[in-house]
A and B are shown apart, each in its own frame.
Chain A
Amino acid sequence: MARFAVRRLASMVAVMFAISILTFLLFQVLPNSDPSTRLAGRTASPTQIAKIRSDWGFDKPIYVQYIKTMGKILNGTVTSYQQQLPVEDQIRQDLPTTLSLAIGAGVIWLALGILFGVLSAWRAGRWLDRGLTVLSLVGVSMPVFFLGAVLSYYIGDKARILPAGDYVALTSDPWQWFKHMLMPWFALSVLFIGVYSRILRSTILDTINDDYVRTARAKGLSERQVMIRHVLRNSLIPIVSLWGLDFASVLGGGAILTETVFNLHGVGQYAAQSVEGLDIPPVLVITMFGAFAVVLLSAVVDIVYAALDPRIRL
């Protein structure tokens, strides 16, 4: 177990560093990759640009720049180019929004995904199954920003049932927080519900015919016990592992489109704005943070996996 953890940790760190290098290089591809002209603004003189270049170290070789930036990221002093604000503070400020979105939507899509999947499998081939299948496929085919824009227009602007976008802190007003988050949660969940219910449905149907389920039935367990203890438990494994990864990527800034269309100042929107402003430090930190979340959660998933499935031992 300890060896497993160490190996996991090592690969996590390796991936994060590889990602940071990739991100850093990505922005060097730009033909005008020197950020000093952007930082200097439109009325800058050549001396001023030169001063910014040396102040920020843009005149140094690329690997020196990379090492310096990484050093600042690790000791928490890295600042953005655009506003020169500490990046980590900004992420800390944005994280509650993203957490609200990820947790709320994560619960919804997991619960509804399982519900629809089970119902679909239970009624396989019947009308309920067909209806849910069509519904989930529509969900999978829906771009979230389109859904978000249409929802905000009809429910937010027209009917005024729910506020369209914006974030209210949970600590300042829980009811408003809930009302503001409801539409983003729903919009973000739709696609995942579709994916999860489809996967669960097919795994349940596969598992029902597995040998050990037949054995369990032969042992005289009731159909309900078989379904819950054996079929559902085993069918949930891929769902749980998938959920961990999806949750992690939403947490790590993956919900860029949802956050943008609902104007939620989360990590994803921060990332999108930073990329738009060619602001390398925040993008570096967020991609590393996102990768960290994905890799960490995938490790957690493996442990849960092992707990759920006695056949897997770490």
Chain B
Amino acid sequence: MATDPAAVPGTEFSPGLPVGLASDEGEAPPGIGPYQLAWRRLRRNRVALAFGGLFLLMVVLCLLAPVYAHDIAHTGPNDPHITDVIKINGKPTNVVSTLGIPIGPTWHGRFFLGADATGRDIAVRLLYGGRNSLQIGAEATLLTILLATIFGIIAGYFRGVADGLISRAFDLIWAYPVYLLGIALGVSLQVGGLDLGLFKIQGNTLILTALIIGFIYVPYVGKPVRGQVLGLREREFIDAARQQGLGSLRIMFGELLPNVASTIIVFIPLILANAVLTEAGLSFLGAGVHDPNPSWGTMITDGIKLVPGAIHLVLVPGLMLVLTVLGINVFGDGVRDALDPRAKVRIEH
């Protein structure tokens, strides 16, 4: 397959040039481990930390969704108030007009950011939606990293048949356009769910969407990991480990894993950002999260249907999504600069 730029083995930690927003730093002082060094570098990257903080803030906000719903908005994320009438400046107003146009932001506790076409509180759904989006993102990332690490290391370490099989499987998923595979899986698994024998995943659930996204991104991490392991297994310390009689499992996960860990760490924010974006994209195409569960993607999609009447229904979840992903990306960029392997991922729309 293609000479993937991501497959360039970057086994050594070169402090390199001042990259990104990081401040300059000289050669590493002796006796400090690469991770400590990276941490020091990251700590000085104020911008990266600030955006990391932004991301954390979003996470906290979304986790507080039930509190907001219960104490401020007094409504749940899926409670329709289609025929409700609320008072705005003492004037009774329909939450949803008889033509189906929802109210805009009231800037009060109830319907702070307005309602959607079903008369549900946007602000409440925004927070619950963020929870779902982030949950899917986190689960998908976990799955991607886990599978990619295991299969990447196995393929790189054993080479031969195992590598052939795993690499072809990677190629197969990789050659599929991301969203095409996503909607194909989303649509076909939606009804019946996924029956893996040992455990069964219901259709129309968040975890199913997370599994699909996680599965799609496996080769994007698996291929570079494999490439790196291929280089590492020829090195002396692996030979030494073999001569000491260590088993394959010990070598793979005791010796090789710590050496590819930095690559994997760099990929975590990248995959997380992409998983959150992919969830939104799949929901837009009707193959992601399904009503009544909110997610930022479904909220944007539902909003687009009401444009040009209510652009805020698109802007509000969209900006939340962009800010959150931006937070992940800038922070991730800082982490990469601190660790500095040349990690890239092929992204599509």
Contacts and interface: CB of A to CB of B under 8 A. Distances in A.
A287 B5 CA distance: 24
A257 B191 CA distance: 23
B123 interface: no
A257 B304 CA distance: 13
B216 interface: no
B326 A272 contact: no
A255 B180 contact: no
A278 B187 CA distance: 8
A199 B344 CA distance: 8
If over half of A's interface residues share one DSSP class (helix, strand or loop), that class is named, otherwise mixed; here it is: helix
Given A141-B322, A205-B19, A242-B346, A275 B184 contact: yes
Contacts of A205: 16-17, 19
Contacts of A29: 188-189, 192
Nearest to B273: A141
B116 interface: no
B121 interface: no
A19 B285 contact: no
Interface residues of B, number: 62
Nearest to A16: B175
Contacts of B179: 254, 256-257, 272
A256 B180 contact: yes
A249 interface: yes
A301 B2 contact: yes
Contacts of A250: 348-349
A137 B342 contact: no
Given A144-B349, A145-B284, A242-B346, A275 B187 contact: yes
A91 interface: no
Nearest to B10: A206
A255 B314 CA distance: 21
B133 to A, nearest CB: 11
Most buried by A among B17, B191, B303, B330: B17
Contacts of A268: 177, 180
B240 interface: no
Interface of B: 1-5, 16-21, 24, 168, 171-172, 175-180, 183-185, 187-189, 191-192, 273, 277, 280-281, 284-287, 297, 300-301, 303-304, 307-308, 311, 314-315, 318, 321-322, 325-326, 328-330, 333, 342, 344, 346-349
Given A30-B192, A138-B322, 19 more contacts: A11-B1, A14-B168, A19-B172, A19-B176, A137-B329, A141-B325, A141-B326, A144-B281, A146-B314, A209-B16, A209-B17, A238-B5, A245-B346, A252-B177, A255-B349, A268-B177, A275-B184, A287-B176, A302-B3
